[in-house]
Amino acid sequence: MSPQTPDSSDQDKEPFVEVDPSGRFGRYSDLLGAGAVKKVYRGFDQREGRDVAWNQVRLGKFSDDPSVIKRLQSEIALLKSLKNDYIIVLYSFWKDNERNTLNFITEACTSGNLRDYRKKHRHVSMKAMKKWSRQILKGLDYLHTHDPCVIHRDLNCSNIFINGNIGKVKIGDLGLATIVGRSHHAHSLIGTPEYMAPELYEEDYTELVDIYFGTIFCVNKIN
């Protein structure tokens, strides 16, 4: 009897590079994006049968800067508490002691961030711009009326993600967000310079600094 030939469909299956402790999420090698702190890989939710974003931080890189780790932990804790159609969803998180990485699984937006999407599609109508703006404002309204109030502080087109097939945008990257008390005042100078409201430089501001982004967004049409 001749040896059994492997099923060609099995040969074509792309293997996971790693799997989360529960066995639910798998990570592929494809890199969706990278920043100074974390890398974002294409992932898959085997239980729900959907694409996800696998965010990974190599903790060894920041052993001398605990503020970075604290900021990431704050982002995860914040995402856990937020449930809104216009905010990126957090599904799971864990620390991998063997690889010395911090991992968290978030919703995947098929078309990436709004900055890259706009560069790819140069002809966008004012109607579409208004639709995106309304969705961003709904997300901000949720953050600003949350108890306690959340100020994003780094809202820009790289931190807004889009599912282009349905024209839906979502606010993400809350690593620089801050939670404020009843006064709604914050005092740290932080953010992306070209999108920072003037009062940020005075280090005494409220959630209205997030609204400043809307002005830049409309005036520049994210060119």
129 shares its domain with 208:
yes
pLDDT score recorded for residue 98: 95
94 shares its domain with 30:
yes
68 shares its domain with 149:
no
97 shares its domain with 175:
no
Which domain range does residue 77 map to?
A: 8-107
138 shares its domain with 214:
yes
Mean pLDDT score of the chain, rounded to an integer? 80
Q: Are 41 and 54 spatial neighbours (Cβ–Cβ below 8 Å)?
A: yes
Angle at which helices 208-220 and 126-145 cross, to 10°: 170
Q: Is residue 1 part of a domain?
A: no
Q: Are 156 and 192 spatial neighbours (Cβ–Cβ below 8 Å)?
A: yes
68 shares its domain with 132:
no
The reported pTM is: 0.76
Spatial neighbors of 22 by CB under 8 A, at least 6 apart, are: 92
In angstroms, the CA 57 to CA 62 distance is: 9
In angstroms, the CA 141 to CA 146 distance is: 8
Catalytic residues: 173
Q: Which residue in this structure is represented by tokens 């890199």? A: 31
User: Which tens digit of pLDDT belongs to each residue from 117-159?
Assistant: 989 998 889 899 889 989 999 999 999 998 888 888 788 888 8
